[in-house]
């Protein structure tokens, strides 16, 4: 619900300012094993720690959401794909750097950039989610960036 409220605001601001928006979709690697081996209370502590670590790596104005069991999404307003890639890599490194309650945790991230005046959340999310799948299939604990979209240029 919070995401539904925030999306029009981000899209409108991006269009007005003609600034890009980047979408990061992240999924904890092998999280089911954490719950199975250590219990759901430990899984909850892992989720809380991961959310805190992600929050530490993004700006206060960036939007962080938990969108599924162990999936997170970050909307980076006014952020080019290159800068967003660095942020995603910082998140990945930070998550893997220190175990949570003795549990090693890694995360895979998919990233898609979108030009501000053309920001369409559903399209950007789908591209970021596809990039996440690529990261998972490529060995996990990595960042994968979706290729840029083709811009349609209208004739004058």
Q: Active-site positions?
A: 70
b/e per residue 30-69 (b: at least 16 CB within 10 A): ebeebbeebeeebbebbbebbeebbeebbeeebbeeeeee
What Å distances lie between residue 150 and 115, 118, 124, 125, 147, CA to CA? 10, 11, 13, 16, 9
Band (pLDDT 50/70/90 cuts) for residue 151 is low
pTM given for the model: 0.92
Is residue 12 scored above 50 in pLDDT? yes
Adjacent-strand bridge partners of 26: 72, 109
Confidence at residue 146, expressed as pLDDT on a 0 to 100 scale: 97
**Overall average pLDDT of the 14-40 stretch:** 95
């Amino acid at each position: 619900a919070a995401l539904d409220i925030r999306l029009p605001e981000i899209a409108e601001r991006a269009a007005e300012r003609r600034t890009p928006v980047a979408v990061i979709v992240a999924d904890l690697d092998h999280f089911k094993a954490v719950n199975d081996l250590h219990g759901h209370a430990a899984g909850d502590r892992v989720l809380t720690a991961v959310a805190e670590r992600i929050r530490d790596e993004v700006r206060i104005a960036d939007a962080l959401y938990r969108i599924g069991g162990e999936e997170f999404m970050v909307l980076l307003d006014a952020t080019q794909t290159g800068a967003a890639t660095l942020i995603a890599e910082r998140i990945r490194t930070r998550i893997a750097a220190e175990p949570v309650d003795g549990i090693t945790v890694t995360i895979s991230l998919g990233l898609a950039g979108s030009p501000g005046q053309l920001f369409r959340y559903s399209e950007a999310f789908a591209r970021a989610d596809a990039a996440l799948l690529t990261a998972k299939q490529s060995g996990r604990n990595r960042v994968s960036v979706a290729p840029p979209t083709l811009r349609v240029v209208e004739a004058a």
